[in-house]
Amino acid sequence: MADTSHIGPAPGADSRAPRRRARRRRSGAGLSRRTTRILVGIALACIGFAAIAAWQRLTEPAGETRSGPVALCTGYEDRTCLIDGDTGRDNGRKWRLIAIDTPELSEPACENERRVGIAARNRLRALLAEGYRLRPSGRSDPHGRILVDIDLPDGRDVSRILLDEGLAQKWPNRGNIWCDRYTQVPARKRG
């Protein structure tokens, strides 16, 4: 029987015999270099895609492009139509131009307001006939209408056009310029 009380290689064994390297034991939280490289590559690809998407959002005008012509509303309608020179519906959802006020058509205070109101609505309709971009501001007015800006395909702003042509006034404002200014007849109070 062989003596097994000694520690180490057996007597007479070649001490140059190949030894197996002991593998380092890793804790469950550690990742191999290959796995780490793959994860870093995926993270960089995601950052790249996010940067491209952000660049496209910053360089393209916000909003949704619509085609014309736009019909006139005749009551509550679940379609795209114009109510007056600064208000309309987009697939039934009511919107209002954010920066201007045009004459009222529902209850004009004087004949001139009605006349200019029809002209403003018709001009807006003509401007939108070749298509437009509706840009919601993310806010609503007290009547629940979405506040929007509208751009034409050539980049012009419809609010600026209506202001320049005398068919609108800046909003908010202090009164009815269409009755006061042109007719010298005070506008009747609303409300």
Q: Which residue ranges make up each domain of the chain?
A: 64-183
| Cβ(97)–Cβ(157) below 8 Å | no
Cα(95)–Cα(159) distance, rounded to whole angstroms?
A: 14
Cβ burial of 152 (10 Å; 0-12, 13-18, 19+) is middle
Domain 64-183 classification at class level: mainly beta
- Looking at the predicted structure, is the pLDDT value of residue 74 above 50? yes
Distances (CA, A) of 44 to 29, 31, 38, 136: 22, 18, 10, 33
- Looking at the predicted structure, is the pLDDT value of residue 42 above 70? yes
- Looking at the predicted structure, is the pLDDT value of residue 17 above 60? no
Q: Find out whether the peptide bond into 108 is cis, omega within 30 degrees of 0.
A: no
Find the mean pLDDT for residues 7-23.
Answer: 58
SS3 171: coil
Per-residue confidence band for 174, with pLDDT thresholds at 50, 70 and 90: confident
Find the mean pLDDT for residues 30-52.
Answer: 86
Per-residue confidence band for 106, with pLDDT thresholds at 50, 70 and 90: confident
SS3 148: strand
The token pair at 40 is 């870093």
What is residue 6's predicted lDDT score, i.e. its pLDDT?
A: 56
| Cβ(149)–Cβ(159) below 8 Å | yes
